Structure 1
Amino acid sequence: MIESLLVANRGEIARRIIRTAKRLGVRAIAVYSEADADLPFVTEADEAVCVGPANPAQSYRNTEAILAAARSTGARAIHPGYGFLSENADFARTVEAGGLTWVGPGADAISAMGDKINARNLMAAAGVPVAPGTTEPAADLAAAVAAAAEIGYPVMVKAAAGGGGMGMGVAADEAALRTEYDKVRAFAERMFDDGSVLLERYFPRVRHVEVQILGLADGRVVALGERECSVQRRNQKLVEESPSPAVSPLLRSRLLAAAVRAGEAVDYRNAGTVECLLDVSTGEFFFLEMNTRLQVEHPVTELVYGLDLVEEQLRVAAGLAPAFDPDALTPRGHAIELRINAEDPKRFLPGPGVIGTWVEPTGEGVRVDSGYVAGNTVTPFYDSLMAKLIVSAPTRAEAIERARAAVASFELAGPKNNLPFFAELLENEEFRSGTYDTSLISRMR
């Protein structure tokens, strides 16, 4: 096992990785910005190094500062968590070139999946279903208009280098396409330093279903079930559950087999997620993207399969066999995750502030992965995620009831938060029935 691990992230996910590292006897090293000096992950690590001011470009995305912290502390490996540098292929190569272990997939796999057009083409060649769309970037507006005419409206306009629901727009006709193309291209150039744009068929009624894969040290790729991620606002996930209430045993076998083929196509190692769109009307699914990192929603898979994905990541990176039997994977029960954000529960706009009260719910089947405690400040510099409330139970109905009770007993005061929204959602008949899709929140609002 790796002896010492630098966690190149912050908040909830840093705390989560540190917890597993310390359980395994791995020395855990944190890096933090000046704005995060008082957060729990800093004090819970065995050692912590300040890597710069609040601006992520000067701290958590500052590769030179991160690598300097690794050298000064004697870290032997780097875990990037999610976001920040987690899908930066150049950083992964630099880490390995420096003699450190990268806890994640190889840089070539990150590069291959980071370009959404290249990823679509690779998946199609591997026999993974992809939605009708462009096989090369739409070089200009005229090319986009021609491609849309061939694909058929409505179309989704996407940043080829984007991810996580960022850099996307829907065009119902050519007039809308002209507006969305310019908007997405400008956003992509600003955010990703790559203005490449792709077009795909847009499906008005879809579910967002993803498969957790794990590329093992021996070269095998295994699928650890699916997660339903259709409760979204602005293409950003708020709730995830496993298994998906929309996936039949036959569909599940097809989904998991396709996800394994996707991983094998890029010689995938470590944890990753194959995201798909499920057409509610036809039952067809299409490859959306592959996230070459640990997902925010990984806990629901852990609870259903009874494993620790961070431990499995470390084992793969160290060249060790998994702690579970890949040939005897048995899912049990149902798990639901709610993302507790510092945001207005109606409009979902950020609402940072000082946390005056923070009392987490407890009880059977209740887990909270949090990045804050009472007295901490949620600043405007980073993502608004404060904690993840995860519940598990033998059935989906029981999991929903546990979630209702946990939301009601979560005491949180100070920043604006979306607990009231979850209380409303868990009473919503469409959600409770399991028949919802990605437009559920728009119907609730």
Structure 2
Amino acid sequence: MVREPLRHVTVVGASVAGLAAAQGLRRRGFEGAITLFGDEPEAAYQRPALSKHFLTAHSIRPADIRLQVDPADVRVELGVRATGLDLARRRLQLRDNTSGRQYVHSVDGLVIATGAGARRLPMDTPPGVHVLRTVADAVAFREDLRHKPRVAIVGAGFVGSEVASSCRSLGLDVTVIEAMAAPMARALGPDVGAALAALHRDHGTRLKLGIGVAGFTGRDRVTGVRLADGEIVAADVVVVGIGARPATDWLSGSGLPLDDGVVCGPDLAVAERIVAAGDVARWPHHRDGALVRVEHWDNAIRQAEAAAATLLAPDGMAAAFADTTMFWSDQYGCKLHLVGHPRPDDEISVVEGDLEQRRGVVVYRRAGRMTAALLLSAPNRLRTYRQAVAAADAATAEHSRYQPGRNNPRETVIERSPTAQGV
């Protein structure tokens, strides 16, 4: 039976993945209608800037970090939240955030690109405790920094570490609190974590490692962070950076597979003419079929392009998403690039430079094969190692393509996103 041609694609999520999906559809010749719904009132912007130069320069406005390229002939509805999906009737339930009006929207093709929201501590938080996920979050936090506060940061992941670096560049008193034994140890391993701890200390950031948070002090305004051992870290402003939670609540009861994200097939398909991309998507990695969810800019753009291709592909002809993605982070003038998907128990070796000097290349291996490469202040080596990791991924995938679980997400090993930091 021949399917009816795709006439209308709805994109839920108006950040970089949603925008890139719309652009990808147009580039591939899709001439039907595209409607894009976004929960935030802001047009798509450069989210990585929020923990970096946007914090340190009050002259930078939200409009200055807005993405400039708009897809052609796309209807964009901002400030509209998706509240549900009736899969059988192909109807999307929506609510206008300003008026509160609720309405339905018929769905032909659907791209789920709702991203993720900041995880919060399960405790009362007085004024002055921030998360950093949206431009509104960053504006509020930046305003608090005007008063030269003492800053406490809960979580030494990528965002927490970048915020620490930004605050120290402003000359602020900064303490970072992390439940792991070292910054980013869960993502990069203990040896690299130790080197990054030294980077923090060398720039005057105090670290409280291997300790959780019990609560906050202050009622009308935060005055400190109470640690699990009873110590209080004095602070006038607190940032909680403990990872992100995929925005899938609106899909509860829809019948779509949900498990720390929207569970996709290798080609990012979720159901008939439904795909997912970006922070919300959890898919079997082409290397070994393990389910992964990645919360980084490069991955969001590449997945959006692949999801668009899957929507337009003939039945059974969609290609698996097999890009080797990367992320970057700026900390105290040290630029980090991570290519691939390491695990904490991977073997690591310094193949160029010196880890203690935070300059060079660290290679991760599992069962003798390269899984990832971390470049520290070595951007000129990025292309070389991206190609090397991609080649290793392809070789491993070829070796394991007949293994159980390769094409069935429900059988694969679950791997947490490397950006989630426990407290």
TM category (shorter chain) comes to: 0.3 to 0.5
TM-score, structure 2 length as denominator? 0.33
TM-score, structure 1 length as denominator? 0.31
Larger strand proportion of the pair: 2
